[in-house]
Amino acid sequence: MSATAGSSASSSTTGANPGIPLTRRTLPFGNGHTPVPTSLADNGDHVQRKDDSDGSDVDDPDDLNARTKRKYTKGKILPALSPASNRKLGEGAYAVVNLGHRRATSTELAVPVAIKKMKVNTEFRDGLSMDAIREVKYLRELHHPNIIALLDVFSSKSQNLCLVLEFLSSDMEMIIKDSSLTLSMADVKSWMLMSLRGLWWCHKAFVLHRDIKPNNLLLASNGVLKLADFGLARSFADPYRPMTSNVITRWYRPPELFYGAKFYSSSVDIFSLGLVFCELMLRTPFLPGNTDLHQLELICQALGTPTEENWPGVTGLPGYCVPQADTPAGGGAIKERGKDFFMNTFIAAGEPGVELLMRMIRLDPRKRCSAREALDAPWFSQEPHPTIPANLPKRGGGKGIEKVGSDLKRKAGDLFNSNTEETNGRGKKVARKLDFGGGG
């Protein structure tokens, strides 16, 4: 059931097809007033007029679900080009994702979509999982060009909840790892700008994403970046209500969560995005810890040791500790890193870029900038200007779909996707590092 198997020659050719105009419109179903993003036109082979839009079946006009369901069908738009086995994009702990498309009508073209079918735990025994609930809950309310669009929700005949999501062909992780691509600072700026806009919108609505990482930043074929996977999201509108600190993939988790903070806010997402920013420049994860403790050591080494001086109140957090090396016996606390340190590591970003980065990954969450403040950073208005999305580097080849599938397979918060070669490689690298450290 590996999603990487059976790769298709047909899946996608990179040739962007600019010729097909999909005008802005409102979908007349599902009570949804979700506007379809202006250009969902993926690759040339997806957008084809489908003539057999069966107008013959007559459904009960009152049955909204049936009407909604009939809008979509499994499989690609041109079935001849895609064997049925290709439909599945991935399977995870709580969802199966299939490629589908919205049926063409007399006035509208067919549009590829991803259909995420929520698995109901063991024959209804436990109800729907929180992940599924959260995803529906927030995506139903958040509409923004930089947030994945939930086009519809319907229930299938086997009584499963199906989410119809925008189909997005790749993600940031693929771009970062594709060594054939060169990323310019203008490209990085453009991606950062789009992610910050999406994040700003979430925070404005008092929603924390809580799982920002490169493979949750999906890319449409026209280059637009969209935040996805709201399985861990929650609202932070009610102050004084404790939240779990066991969220966010380890490599992108901010120090306050390692210290077990129960009250935190949008600054956790900003920190994660700051580390994605580093990763975009380094082309490798900035702080790839093997364990939570190791991760904390890396944070201390890279950013400085959290102390009362640079972070008032930190010692009061339940899990506060300092790595062995940073205790007075082991060499003393590392001062919070200054600009020189970051200028050395991220020289390409230039001074304004480094300044923004530093404000995003401050140790003390209260000192981090908000998404709004980050968007106002001078870096974005300076030369080089952000690349327009359509001109951003794209990943070539036909592996796109399989990769998205394997990402969706992952459970929210999980780092590794154990049965794909790619991530195994990544894991090995980390392991090697460990050996190295142990041996030396």
Partner 1 sequence: MAANFWTSTQRAHWQLTREKIADMRKGLDEEDTNRGLGIAYPLPDHKQLQLYFHHCVQRLARRLQLRQQPLATAETYLKRFYLKVSIRDTNPYLMLSTCVYLACKMEECPVHIRSVVNEARALFQEFIPQDTAKLAECEFHLISELNSYLIVHHPYRTLMEVQVQLKLSPDEIMAVWSFLNDSYITDLILLYPPHTIALTAIFLAVFVRPAVHTQANLNASSSTSMAMGAAPGGGIVPPASSATQGLSVSAASAANPQNMSSARHSQMSDWFAESGVDMESIIECTQEMISLYDTWETWTDKVCREGVARLIRGRQLL
- Annotated catalytic residues are 211
- Residue from 424, 427, 394, 421 nearest 5 by CA: 421
If the CB atoms of residues 115 and 356 are measured against partner 1, the closer one turns out to be 115
If the CB atoms of residues 261 and 361 are measured against partner 1, the closer one turns out to be 261
Query: Is there binding between residue 127 and partner 1 (CB under 8 A)?
Result: yes
Query: Is there binding between residue 159 and partner 1 (CB under 8 A)?
Result: yes
Query: Is there binding between residue 161 and partner 1 (CB under 8 A)?
Result: yes
Q: Least separation, in Å, of the C-beta of 198 and partner 1? A: 15
Query: Is there binding between residue 28 and partner 1 (CB under 8 A)?
Result: no
If the CB atoms of residues 64 and 375 are measured against partner 1, the closer one turns out to be 64
- Torsion 149-152-153-156 (CA) sign: negative
Q: Least separation, in Å, of the C-beta of 201 and partner 1? A: 10
Candidate ranges 99-107, 128-136, 330-338, 403-411; the one touching partner 1 (CB under 8 A): 128-136
Candidate ranges 11-19, 109-117, 122-130, 378-386; the one touching partner 1 (CB under 8 A): 122-130
* HEC secondary structure over the chain: CCCCCCCCCCCCCCCECCCCCCCCCECCCCCCCCECCCCCCCECCCCCCCCCCCCCCCCCCCCHHHHHHHCEEECCCCHHHCCHHHHEEEECCCEEEEEEEECCCCCCCCEEEEEEEECCCCCCCCCCCHHHHHHHHHHHHCCCCCECCEEEEEECCCCCEEEEEECCCEEHHHHHHCCCCCCCHHHHHHHHHHHHHHHHHHHHCCEECCCCCHHHEEECCCCCEEECCCCCCEECCCCCCCCCCCCCCHHHCCHHHHCCCCCCCCHHHHHHHHHHHHHHHHCCCCCCCCCHHHHHHHHHHHHCCCCCCCCCCHHHCCCCCCCHHHCCCCCCCCCCCCHHHHHHHCHHHHHHHHHHHHHHCCCCHHHCCCHHHHHCCHHHHCCCCCCCHHHCCCCCCCCHHHHHHHHHHCCCCCCCCCCCHHHHHHHHHHHHHHHHHHHC
If the CB atoms of residues 64 and 186 are measured against partner 1, the closer one turns out to be 64
Looking up tokens 């549009």, which residue turns up?
111
Pick one of 9, 15, 33, 328: the residue that binds partner 1 (CB under 8 A).
Answer: 33
Query: Is there binding between residue 65 and partner 1 (CB under 8 A)?
Result: yes
Q: Least separation, in Å, of the C-beta of 43 and partner 1? A: 30
Pick one of 25, 49, 241, 411: the residue that binds partner 1 (CB under 8 A).
Answer: 241
Pick one of 204, 283, 337, 359: the residue that binds partner 1 (CB under 8 A).
Answer: 204
Query: Is there binding between residue 126 and partner 1 (CB under 8 A)?
Result: yes
Query: Is there binding between residue 207 and partner 1 (CB under 8 A)?
Result: yes
Pick one of 18, 25, 26, 31: the residue that binds partner 1 (CB under 8 A).
Answer: 31
Q: Least separation, in Å, of the C-beta of 241 and partner 1? A: 8
Q: How many residues bind partner 1 (CB under 8 A)?
A: 39
If the CB atoms of residues 167 and 236 are measured against partner 1, the closer one turns out to be 236
Candidate ranges 2-10, 129-137, 176-184, 378-386; the one touching partner 1 (CB under 8 A): 129-137
Query: Is there binding between residue 137 and partner 1 (CB under 8 A)?
Result: yes
Binding residues: 89-97, 116-117
Q: Which residues are near partner 1 by CB under 8 A?
A: 30-33, 64-65, 120-121, 123-128, 130, 133, 136-138, 140-143, 153-155, 159, 161, 204-207, 234-235, 237-238, 240-241, 243
